[in-house]
Structure 1
Amino acid sequence: MKTFEELGVSEEIRHAIEELGFEHPMPVQEEVIPYLLGNGNDVIALAQTGTGKTAAFGIPLLQRTNPNSRTTQAIVISPTRELCLQIADDLKSFAKYIKGINIVAVYGGTSIINQIHALKHGAQIIVATPGRLIDLMHRGAAKLDNVQNVVLDEADEMLNMGFSDSINEIFESVPTDRNTLLFSATMSK
């Protein structure tokens, strides 16, 4: 069984995840983390809920993010507000010891004004539901031209919920040389 250090996880992140009680990586993390720490690596990962998917994509996302740049470098798209908030909270926990990193959750059903203000301060990582992210893009609040990583969590569920047009629009707004990471508990052919 490997350690997070052997997977190449930085000291700041290891310190935070050890405090959260993570001692050894789960199988999906062992597979995905070293791969995502490399460049130009797209991934599709199938893993049941509760197997550590968020850490599998979140740890490499955080480690590849430059906290000294205020530009948005990664977006995580999820189908529901609840999942969006949960992912953002997890990422903030993993990033506890990384100075200067700002993770902002944006989702519908709440004030867009507060979210615009949060983005204006600079968010290296945006965790979003598709509709709200597009709304913020149209308003010029979410700028995706420096995004290096796009994560779709529960990718199949979003497509089943009719978000494919929104997802396509988001993909058209990010650089073509980004990493695309699809995570799901279930995935049809």
Structure 2
Amino acid sequence: MLYSELKCSPEILQAVERMGFTEMTEVQEKAIPVMMAGKDVIAKAPTGTGKTCAFGIPIIERINPESNKPQAVILAPTRELAQQIAEELTELAHFLPKVRIVCVYGGANIQRQAEKLKKGCQIVVATPGRLMDHMHHKNIDVSAVTSIVLDEADEMLNMGFYKDVRRIIDSMKARKSLCMFSATISREV
């Protein structure tokens, strides 16, 4: 399926074209419409198949850019993956200047991250431990978060983040969808 056939905003289609993508991968073709309908998704697809676009497009499409409260949280197991996801989401939102994405992860200045969160954003990309820190310090209001994505869910849980992830999910009372994307999915996940 071609991206041009996707029922989404012209700004997203323009961004996808700018990124050099024309045809969807299998995971994108299967996950995007389901997520756009607001349903939960568990997707297993090899690394490099465009999982970030598969969840990024529906996330960006469904947020309200007029609100400064986070509406979507994407959890990643490592700082490097969180940064990579945030960069790709920023590219997808290139023609939507009101959409703000903040990336928070351990090993970086927590105060600077807190300032970015206080300025407002609609999407937060985070590692579980650092998101818990920001929630504990009341740097982030998760009351309007309706979508949660666990990227590389298997790896995150193998690294011992199960309790943190569970706590984070349980704290987001407005949650309407929970999606998991991973290169491998174990029975436990």
Band the TM-score falls in, shorter-chain normalisation: over 0.9
| Residue 34 of structure 2 is aligned to residue 10 of structure 1 | no
The residue type equivalent to 2:23 in the other structure is H
Structure 1 runs, 4 residues or longer, greater than 3 Å off:
none
Q: Which residue of 1 aligns with 2:108?
A: 110
Aligned partners of 1:67 and 1:97: how far apart in 2?
12
Q: Which residue of 2 aligns with 1:21?
A: 20
Q: Alignment partner of 2:131: what SS? A: helix
Q: Which residue of 1 aligns with 2:65?
A: 67
Alignment RMSD: 0.9
1:99 deviates by: 2.5
Q: Which residue of 1 aligns with 2:165?
A: 167
The residue type equivalent to 2:22 in the other structure is E
1:10 deviates by: 1.4
Q: Which residue of 1 aligns with 2:47?
A: 49
TM-score normalised to the size of structure 1? 0.96
Aligned partners of 1:58 and 1:177: how far apart in 2?
17
Aligned partners of 2:86 and 2:174: how far apart in 1?
25
TM-score normalised to the size of structure 2? 0.96
Aligned partners of 1:61 and 1:5: how far apart in 2?
18
1:25 deviates by: 0.9
How many residues are paired up? 187
1:60-112 CA distances to partner (integer Å, 9 max, x unpaired)? Answer: 00011111111100000000000000000000000000121110000000100
Aligned partners of 1:81 and 1:133: how far apart in 2?
12
The residue type equivalent to 1:3 in the other structure is L
1:177 deviates by: 4.2
CA contact (8 A) 1:7 1:30 kept: no
Deviates more, 1:119-128 or 1:3-12: 3-12
Aligned partners of 1:67 and 1:93: how far apart in 2?
16
Gaps of 5+ in 2: none
Gaps of 5+ in 1: none
1:142 deviates by: 1.4
Identical residues among aligned pairs (%): 48
Kindly report which structure 2 residues correspond to 1:32-181, keeping only aligned pairs within 5 A, or say none.
Answer: 32-39=31-38, 41-175=39-173, 177-181=175-179
